[in-house]
Chains A and B, each alone.
Chain A
Amino acid sequence: MALQFRHLPIQRKLMIVIMVTSGVVLLLTCAAFLGYEMVTFRQNAVRQMSTLGEIIATNSTAVLAFDNPEDAAEVLGALRADRHIVAAALYNKQGRLFASYSAEGREAEFPASIQPDGYRVEGDYMVGFTPVVQVKGATRLGTLYLRSDRKALTERLRLYGGIAGLVVLALSIVAYALSRKLQQQISGPILALAETAQAVSRRDYSVRALPQGDDEIGLLTEAFNHMLEQIEAKNAELEARVHERTMELEAANKELEAFAYSVSHDLRTPLRAITGFAEILLKRPADTLAPEARRCVELIQRGAGELDQLINNILAFSRLGHQALDCHPVDLAALSREVYEELRAALGARRVDFRVQALPQVSATPQLLRQVMINLIDNALKFTRSREQAVIEVGVRWQKAGAEPTFYIRDNGVGFDMNHADKLFGVFQRLHSAQAFEGTGVGLAMVRRIIERHGGRVWAEAVPDAGATIYFTLPEVEQLG
């Protein structure tokens, strides 16, 4: 009950509080009146009966004194006027039944002996005795016995109960109507405030609660509105600042990219001259070039080749910033196998166990996703080079039902120290020396850039010398049906 009460709307609560309070007060009042009425009515009934007894006793003195039972019966017969008197009797001085009266249809029943004077309630009846004494003489001439039913009391009680019931009913209706009207004074502002608060929780900071009166709720409303103003102002300020920063960052980024692009581009011309002339030198007859010089030229050519690849990668990376996305459903599993087949040609006699799970289709730009898979599989092959049996696995898992799929590519290569995991996806960040593993330090940065442009995330886990796992998420193509 208490628990249910807590979940009721405030309007209902207020009404219940008012109704219960007024109802209890009303009932207690009625009960008090009824109790008072009963006690006084009972006292009155006893008093009336005593009075009636006195009157009849006074009228009975002569008939008792002069031994006249017939006339005594007549005296008692006057009691017929009171329909609640069911029996009456006169006893003479010696205590013997002298005359009697019983109401019509009543079995007359009289006590065999006289009991102490006075009236009392006995079961459903009120009975009692009055001495019959002639005022002048102290002599007791006899005793009057009276017996009345308590119908007067029950009739009165029923009447009062009925009236009380009607009053309670009528006043309850009045209280209901009043409380229904009056509780709005309190619940109205609170409900309005709650509604405003709900609008605010939908991130609409422009709403305001209607100011209501000067009471506590009015103060609350005012404070609430003030708070909203502050939030709205703060919010606008923050948004403006974020926008400004974003613009600044974008400008700086563009500038940087343009710079990288033009530098890379400009480096190509002199690089082409270096590789071109190195080639010319190497094409000369073997005896015209000292063996020492030929080795130097070969080193120049190899270095220029690496530099060329680096420049190509940087150009590709910066081009990513401009290339528009063109998403189609892509079968990631097929793509992985295709890429692996291409890269396998350069593996020679290495033993590689390449496994691909069944993967859901993803929505992505096919060429860009292909670049991602090339970089990731190439990395995996590179860092498992020292393994007699390389194991590379492309798979998927769901963090929870209905969530975005998380793809991963796991290898059993050299791994890396997790302390450096944050550096992994930065441009030119290399965790291994160029002597141990060749590479430009651009591959994973490209992977991150492509995945993030598609709205996904990428991260890595690894244990040094036990392998690494690269995770990434991509939006899944909605399944039909």
Chain B
Amino acid sequence: MPEYQLKAVFLFNFAQFVDWPEEAFANAQAPLVIGVLGEDPFGAYLDDLVQSERIGERPIVIRRFRRPQDVIGCHILFVSRNQAAHFDRIAPELKVRNLLTVGDTDSFNRQGGLVRFVTEGGKIRLRINAEAAKRCGLTISSKLLRWAILVTPEKG
């Protein structure tokens, strides 16, 4: 499976292993939004993947944002490489509080990103800044944390 198809699946799977606070949604049926900031590496694959999926009663919607300030009503945000390169500058511009930021650049964690995809020996592994996620009001399932590598911005 091509790398970004797998990463698309992971993005969707985060929706199952992360809990958002109630105020992150307008109501119980409100959709869960997966956003892509910057250049979209997934293409139509991501849209096809989530088309008929639901998390509980929530449908899943894919939105694409060009600029950080555009990011509104989003729960999972994949920050593409061109944007992630200077994520430490972008981050303060993100107005959404309970946002799970995901990226695949080497410095993503250090720059304040919550989840980073790491490719090791052809496999994709996760590095998660659990403490920062908690500060963002997100609860990441221990099952996920158990198999991920936990980092802090300093050690990231």
Contact = CB atoms under 8 A, between A and B. Distances in A.
A76 to B, nearest CB: 14
Interface size grouping (class) on chain A: 10 to 19
Contact of A67 (B6, B56, B148): B6
A61 interface: yes
Contact of A61 (B19, B55, B143): B143
B143 A62 contact: yes
A139 B143 contact: no
A67 B123 contact: yes
Interface string A321-360: 0000000000000000000000000000000000000000
B143 A59 contact: yes
Contacts of B124: 66-67
A62 B53 contact: no
Interface string B74-108: 00000000000000000000000000000000000
A66 B16 contact: no
Interface string B45-69: 0000000011110000000000000
B29 interface: no
B39 to A, nearest CB: 24
B54 A66 contact: no
Interface in B1-58: 6, 9-10, 13, 15-17, 19, 53-56
Contacts of A138: 53-56
B107 to A, nearest CB: 22
B87 to A, nearest CB: 22
Nearest to A138: B54
Contact of A66 (B15, B53, B147): B147
A65 to B, nearest CB: 4
A77 to B, nearest CB: 14
Contacts of A68: 123, 125, 147
Given A136-B56, A139-B16, A62 B146 contact: yes
Contacts of A59: 143
Contacts of A270: none
A63 B15 contact: no
A137 B55 contact: yes
A134 B126 contact: no
A66 B116 CA distance: 13
Nearest to B55: A137
Given A62-B147, A65-B10, A136 B16 contact: yes
Q: What is the size category of the interface that chain B forms with chain A?
A: 20 to 34
Interface in A53-89: 58-59, 61-63, 65-68, 71
B123 A134 contact: no
A66 B10 contact: yes
Contact of B17 (A58, A67, A71, A134): A134
Contacts of A134: 13, 16-17, 141, 143
A71 B147 contact: yes
A119 B10 CA distance: 31
Interface string A132-169: 00101111010000000000000000000000000000
Nearest to A94: B1
A62 B147 CA distance: 7
Contacts of A61: 16-17, 143
Contacts of A58: 143
Nearest to B56: A136
A62 B141 contact: yes
Contact of B16 (A63, A67, A71, A137): A137
A136 to B, nearest CB: 5
Nearest to A60: B143
Contacts of B10: 65-67
Interface in A165-184: none
Contacts of B147: 62-63, 66, 68, 71
B67 to A, nearest CB: 30
Given A61-B143, A71-B147, A66 B13 contact: yes
A138 B55 CA distance: 7
Given A67-B123, A136-B16, 18 more contacts: A61-B16, A61-B143, A62-B141, A62-B144, A62-B146, A65-B10, A65-B17, A66-B10, A66-B13, A66-B148, A67-B9, A67-B124, A134-B17, A137-B15, A137-B16, A137-B53, A137-B54, A138-B55
Interface of A: 58-59, 61-63, 65-68, 71, 134, 136-139, 141
Top 9 A-B pairs, shortest CB-CB distance: A137-B16, A65-B13, A134-B16, A62-B143, A62-B144, A71-B147, A136-B16, A62-B147, A137-B55
